[in-house]
Amino acid sequence: MSESTGGIHRNAYLMLKVFNFVLYGALAIFGTFFALYLRNLGVSNIAIGAILACGPVVSLIANPFWAYWADRLRNNRLILIITLTAALVVMQFVFLTHNEPVIYGTLLAFFLFQSPLYTQSNSLILNSIQGTGLKFGAFRLWGSLGWALSAAAFGPVIGWIGINRLWIVFDAMMLLALVFAFLLPTGGEGKRKDVFSNSGYRQVFVNRPFMLLVLIGILVSVPNSVNNTFVAIYISDLGGSASIVGWSIFATAILEAPVFLLLDRFLKPSPHKMIAWMVVVSGLYSLRWLLMSSVETAGGIVWIQLMHCVTFGAYYYIGTQLTSLLVSDSFRSTGQAVYGLTWGGISGVIAGLAGGWMFEYLGPVTLYRISSLVTLMGAFGFLFMLGLTRKSFGDPVLESKAETVGK
195 has pLDDT over 80: no
Q: Say what percent of the chain tops pLDDT 90.
A: 25
Q: Name the β-bridge partners of 307.
A: none
101 Cβ contact list (under 8 Å, min separation 6): none
Question: Among 2-6, 21-25, 51-55, 340-344, where is mean pLDDT lowest?
Answer: 2-6
69 Cβ contact list (under 8 Å, min separation 6): 79
- DSSP assignment of 192-214 equals -SSPP-HHHHHHGGG-HHHHHHH
Instruction: Give residue 194's pLDDT.
Output: 54
264 has pLDDT over 60: yes
Question: Among 111-120, 146-155, 310-319, where is mean pLDDT lowest?
Answer: 146-155
At 201, is the pLDDT very low, low, confident or very high (cuts 50, 70, 90)? low
DSSP-derived secondary structure letter, 5? E
d(CA 242, CA 403): 47
Question: Among 3-7, 38-42, 111-115, 284-288, where is mean pLDDT lowest?
Answer: 3-7
120 has pLDDT over 60: yes
Distances (CA, A) of 77 to 46, 72, 127, 143, 391: 37, 13, 11, 17, 38
* Contact predicate 206/334, CB 8 Å: no
Question: Among 202-216, 271-285, 383-397, where is mean pLDDT lowest?
Answer: 383-397
Q: Is 407 exposed, middle or buried (0-12, 13-18, 19+ CB in 10 A)?
A: exposed
Q: Of 252, 248, 225, nearest to 300 (Cα)? A: 248
93 has pLDDT over 60: yes
Q: Is 103 exposed, middle or buried (0-12, 13-18, 19+ CB in 10 A)?
A: buried
Looking at residues 308-331, what average pLDDT do you find? 84
At 69, is the pLDDT very low, low, confident or very high (cuts 50, 70, 90)? confident
Instruction: Give residue 189's pLDDT.
Output: 55
* Contact predicate 129/9, CB 8 Å: no
Question: Among 5-9, 77-81, 166-170, 349-353, where is mean pLDDT lowest?
Answer: 5-9
At 181, is the pLDDT very low, low, confident or very high (cuts 50, 70, 90)? very high
Looking at residues 30-55, what average pLDDT do you find? 81
Q: Of 288, 349, 369, 282, nearest to 318 (Cα)? A: 282
- Side chain identity at residue 84, one-letter code: L
At 82, is the pLDDT very low, low, confident or very high (cuts 50, 70, 90)? very high
43 has pLDDT over 80: yes
163 Cβ contact list (under 8 Å, min separation 6): 33, 36, 37, 40, 242
Mean pLDDT rounded to a whole number for the chain: 82
406 has pLDDT over 70: no
Q: Compare 84 and 386 and report the one with higher pLDDT.
A: 84
* Contact predicate 36/327, CB 8 Å: no
1 has pLDDT over 60: no
Q: Of 74, 185, 129, nearest to 405 (Cα)? A: 129
Q: Is 380 exposed, middle or buried (0-12, 13-18, 19+ CB in 10 A)?
A: middle
Instruction: Give residue 190's pLDDT.
Output: 54
Q: What is the 3-state secondary structure (H, E, C) of 67-116?
A: HHHHHHHCCHHHHHHHHHHHHHHHHHHHHHCCCHHHHHHHHHHHHHHHCC
| pLDDT tens digits, 353-400 | 788 788 888 989 999 999 999 999 999 999 998 887 665 555 444 544
Q: What is the DSSP pairing of strand 4-5 with strand 8-9?
A: antiparallel
